[in-house]
A and B are shown apart, each in its own frame.
Chain A
Amino acid sequence: MSGIIAIDCHIPFYRVNKKAIFDAWGWFDSSKIGSAKGELAFANYDEDSLTMGVNAALSCLERLKSKSIDRLYFATATSPYVEPKNTSIMSAALDLNEDVVSVDMSGLISSSSALIAANDAVESGLSKMTLVCSADKRNAKPADGLEYLFGHAAFAMVIGKNDTIADIEHVFSHSSSFLGYRRTQEDEYPKSWEERWIRDEGYLNHIVKSVNKTVEKMGVSLSDFSKVIYACPDKRTYSAIAKKLRISAEQLEDPLLDKIGYTGNPHTFIMLANALRKAKPNDKIMLVNFGSSVDIVTFTVTERIDKSKLPDIDKLLDTKQVIDNYTKFANLCGKIEQEKGPRGEVAKSAVSVLWRERKTILGLYGSKCKKCGTKVYPPQHVCINPDCNAIDEMEDYRFAEDTGKLFTYTVDNLAFEHDPPAMYGIVDFDNGGRYWFDITDCSPEELRVGMPVKMSFRKKFYDKPRGLYGYFWKAVPIR
């Protein structure tokens, strides 16, 4: 039976205090005062769904201690690239084999579609292990009520047959062409409808109906499940669904709305990871994903349930920087652009260089000297060790998973930086090797010589005239 082998999540470092949104827009729509409590997680300016997905997947593969996956399914409603496949870039960043089948899936709740497809692939025997990854960076239009709701996050899980911590029991789908939140190719932001429509006819009725159908089909009672996981745009509907389905408080998982907001595709899976941390063998868990249709997947927790295969969601939630500045929030999200001046102009980049150097740039591959063992980034022909200097005696060496320490650094007010000041430094990798990196998700006060850092996949620049994202790696503090 196929099931989950490991899960991890990426919750961005930044949170906005929802009150800051009301402070900015309360003059326009004072009715939102009730929504102005708690925080939303939002992606840094150098993150998008692809980078968040890569970082969640990296952590997940680290828990798996293996990269022998044969499929990568990436589900998002907010693809950075529309034409080139996002998973082709992710595969390079994750250092997956070039023969891994990689699939981009789009739309809201494509995360559960990806899980269902992964289950099919593994159950059929076509795949031994499939990596399911999902991320969303959904932005609401300024002053839209959705602005108090949308957060950003990512998750990744490995589906396979061996060493599962939770097995997939049943898969159920209910399609109804319900148009809740909508965003066309023409739209920058999702459109909504009367709140009651989305809430009552959408979430409440669809979820209740589908859950009832599922338990009926399975011939079980909903009370047999230790957790029933679903997400809603507000707490009232969340409670109304629980009441209607007679779900007890113990069966509910924290919907995280006041901590990270509603994060779209990955949301219920982050709740699932949280539920699994507390689960015991043989617990049954139901995951309900609703967008324009409903996907339901039920799991049975196995004897192998093990926290080392799961993220510490509480720690991820606590690792944060909360801002009360709406302008900064809206800018980092990409909703309002600042004048960047001549120093902010982006230099031209070459697509052919990016392709030729993809292992170096996307995969953070350097080289290791076969003569003396010295590791170096970027890859060299001649060994950097002055006592060796061997020519063309190199093998590939990847630094992306290596940790390091900050050897020296600066906080630079002159460099153009989207979120000033710019921070960068020279990193000594713990396994050998040294290079200089931008530092992100960090406050200047945290920096010190010897600070432990790890690598995080980021969007370094956007070359708009040439339609190219400059993805690369930055250093982030290990917290």
Chain B
Amino acid sequence: MSEGIKDKVAIIGMGCTKFGERWDKSEEDLIIEAYSEALDDAGIEPKDIDAAWFGSCFDEINVGKSSLPLATTLKLGFKPVTRVENFCATGTEAFRGACYAVASGACDIAIAVGAEKLKDTGFGGLPEFSSVLGTKNRFIFPNITAPGAFAMLATAYFEKYGLSYEEGKRILARISVKSHKNGLLNEKAHLRKEITIDDVLKAPIIASPLGLFDCSGVSDGAAVAIITRAERAKEYTKNPIFVKALQISVSDGREYMYNEWDGTTIPTTVNAARRAYAEAGIKNPRSEIGLMELHDCFSITELVTYEDLGMSERGRAGEDVESGFFDLDGKIPSQTDGGLKCFGHPIAASGLRMIYEVYKQLQGKAGKRQVKNSHIGLTHNIGGFPAMSITSVAIFGND
């Protein structure tokens, strides 16, 4: 394995907007909101920035393609700006570009920006996929939505582990109840309301077996990270957060084209996690990781991810969920900020939003949500669908 970027890069400042239905704010407004917070946090001036990575996903409802919208919004002079897009993993992808630039020595200070203005489609949920999957797939892809694609994970999971519809729904409900409890403590979260298992079970079905409360919020928002070389980090802040691992894994299509995948796991998570643990030097994730921000676009995704990350045994994540292992006061608190479920999911901002929470937690600045004695945090960001995914796993530490 290559050397990796462990302890070469540190985050010195971050910003994140309130996520939600920000009808009165443009994407530029949201970018500036997060950017200003990040500049203040890092204590740097715009002139200190050497390069920027900009992530935004859906062209038709955002600022448009290329790096120009970010460069013109921030007035970065003629500095290099790169636009990246990798479905829902876009935010982490922007962060990865910035980290690699800094780690290589090409820049001293780089920023990663993720922003998405989802509420300009005219309907609930994400934009239609038929227009974004390419001209050929337009003719042959099924009439797929995100909840539907992830619901198929639940169908296969229930089938494999012999869970009845009711048993499966109840485990998933417990996951959402936990995230809503956490989201209530977070002023920046989109959905702030405590819910019960019964609320989840009685909610309308979006894509069977997933109901309304199994689905994350569809939100507007932006998040920004400022990074520099690890050895210079203390020049800017007392408590920089170090990047311990940053890995991405992309499906080669075998999940939906080859008769092997059993539909109860997201193979790119397994792959990215294995490489991330190796990069960070983690031997036993269940005892070494202190908190996690997972890509809980749907409750079933979170359940399966516990297993894919090696936190729970195959088919037994439900037991850990029921026992409160991932609750705010549990062994590995997860979705401490409410997750995609409650913080909301402005596509390209989400990966950076997860990092924002882990950054704040590891700095001990998470307020009412603060977890105890955590030194290592993990973020997990999926783009695409279980059957064709892009997953990044990042690990952070405060020393």
**B121: Cβ under 8 A from any A Cβ:** yes
Quick check: A434 and B259 within 8 Å, CB to CB?
yes
Quick check: A384 and B263 within 8 Å, CB to CB?
no
**Cβ–Cβ < 8 Å partners of B208 in chain A:** 410-412, 421, 444
Quick check: A384 and B258 within 8 Å, CB to CB?
yes
**Cβ–Cβ < 8 Å partners of A424 in chain B:** 142-144, 148
**Cβ–Cβ < 8 Å partners of A348 in chain B:** 131
Question: B148 is contacted by which of A384, A422, A444, A470 (Cβ under 8 Å)?
Answer: A422
Quick check: A425 and B258 within 8 Å, CB to CB?
no
Quick check: A412 and B139 within 8 Å, CB to CB?
no
Given the complex of chains A and B, what is the CA–CA distance between A378 and B141 in angstroms? 10
Given the complex of chains A and B, what is the CA–CA distance between A288 and B109 in angstroms? 86
Given contacts A414-B147, A415-B144, A426-B387, A434 and B121 within 8 Å (CB-CB): no
Quick check: B156 and A408 within 8 Å, CB to CB?
yes
Quick check: B259 and A437 within 8 Å, CB to CB?
no
**Cβ–Cβ < 8 Å partners of B250 in chain A:** none
Quick check: B139 and A426 within 8 Å, CB to CB?
no
Given contacts A360-B136, A408-B159, A417 and B387 within 8 Å (CB-CB): no
Comparing B122-130, B229-237, B315-323, the segment that makes contact with chain A is B122-130
Q: Give the residue name and chain of the A residue nearest to B262 (CB).
A: A407
**B252: Cβ under 8 A from any A Cβ:** yes
**B135: Cβ under 8 A from any A Cβ:** yes
**A386: Cβ under 8 A from any B Cβ:** yes
Bin the interface of chain B by size: 35 or more
**Cβ–Cβ < 8 Å partners of B151 in chain A:** 410, 412
Quick check: B139 and A434 within 8 Å, CB to CB?
no
Tell me the chain A residues, 195-245 only, with Cβ under 8 Å from chain B: none
**A148: Cβ under 8 A from any B Cβ:** no
**B367: Cβ under 8 A from any A Cβ:** no
Given the complex of chains A and B, what is the CA–CA distance between A342 and B119 in angstroms? 13
Tell me the chain B residues, 232-284 only, with Cβ under 8 Å from chain A: 252-254, 256-259, 263
Residue among A413, A414, A424, A428 facing the most chain B CB atoms (10 A cut-off): A414
Given the complex of chains A and B, what is the CA–CA distance between A240 and B286 in angstroms? 84
**B1: Cβ under 8 A from any A Cβ:** no
**A464: Cβ under 8 A from any B Cβ:** no
Quick check: A347 and B263 within 8 Å, CB to CB?
no
Quick check: A408 and B259 within 8 Å, CB to CB?
no
Given contacts A341-B123, A348-B131, A472 and B152 within 8 Å (CB-CB): no
Quick check: A409 and B131 within 8 Å, CB to CB?
no
**B79: Cβ under 8 A from any A Cβ:** no
**A435: Cβ under 8 A from any B Cβ:** yes
Quick check: A349 and B138 within 8 Å, CB to CB?
yes
**B207: Cβ under 8 A from any A Cβ:** yes
**Cβ–Cβ < 8 Å partners of B153 in chain A:** 408
**A357: Cβ under 8 A from any B Cβ:** yes
Q: With both chains docked as a complex, state the minimum distance between the C-beta of A363 and any C-beta of chain B, in angstroms.
A: 12
Given the complex of chains A and B, what is the CA–CA distance between A343 and B127 in angstroms? 8
**B206: Cβ under 8 A from any A Cβ:** yes
Given the complex of chains A and B, what is the CA–CA distance between A409 and B387 in angstroms? 12
Quick check: A384 and B143 within 8 Å, CB to CB?
no
Given the complex of chains A and B, what is the CA–CA distance between A346 and B122 in angstroms? 15
Question: B152 is contacted by which of A409, A415, A421 (Cβ under 8 Å)?
Answer: A409
**Cβ–Cβ < 8 Å partners of A408 in chain B:** 152-153, 155-156, 159, 263
Given the complex of chains A and B, what is the CA–CA distance between A347 and B138 in angstroms? 8
Given the complex of chains A and B, what is the CA–CA distance between A77 and B121 in angstroms? 41
Quick check: B136 and A353 within 8 Å, CB to CB?
yes
Quick check: A426 and B145 within 8 Å, CB to CB?
no
**Cβ–Cβ < 8 Å partners of B206 in chain A:** 412-414
| A134-174 contact mask (Cβ, 8 Å, vs B): 1 or 0 | 00000000000000000000000000000000000000000
Quick check: B258 and A350 within 8 Å, CB to CB?
no
**B74: Cβ under 8 A from any A Cβ:** no
Quick check: B139 and A357 within 8 Å, CB to CB?
yes
Q: With both chains docked as a complex, state the minimum distance between the C-beta of B141 and any C-beta of chain A, in angstroms.
A: 8
Q: With both chains docked as a complex, state the minimum distance between the C-beta of A73 and any C-beta of chain B, in angstroms.
A: 27
Quick check: B139 and A435 within 8 Å, CB to CB?
no
Q: Give the residue name and chain of the A residue nearest to B141 (CB).
A: A436
Given contacts A343-B128, A384-B254, A436 and B155 within 8 Å (CB-CB): no
Question: B257 is contacted by which of A377, A412, A425, A449 (Cβ under 8 Å)?
Answer: A377
**Cβ–Cβ < 8 Å partners of B140 in chain A:** 360-361, 378, 472
**B163: Cβ under 8 A from any A Cβ:** no
Ordered by A's residue number, 15 sampled pairs between the chains whose C-beta atoms are within 8 Å are A342-B122, A349-B138, A349-B139, A384-B252, A384-B253, A384-B254, A386-B252, A407-B263, A408-B159, A410-B152, A412-B144, A412-B206, A422-B148, A472-B139, A472-B140
Q: Besides A414-B145, A424-B143, 18 other CB < 8 A contacts?
A: A348-B131, A349-B139, A353-B139, A357-B136, A377-B257, A384-B252, A385-B258, A412-B151, A413-B205, A413-B206, A414-B206, A415-B144, A422-B143, A434-B257, A436-B142, A444-B208, A449-B155, A470-B138
A→B interface (CB under 8 Å): 341-343, 345, 347-350, 353-354, 357, 360-361, 374, 376-378, 380, 384-386, 407-417, 421-422, 424-426, 428, 432-438, 444, 449, 460, 470, 472
- Enumerate the 5 nearest inter-chain pairs by beta-carbon distance, A residue then B residue, closest first: A412-B148, A342-B122, A410-B151, A347-B131, A424-B142
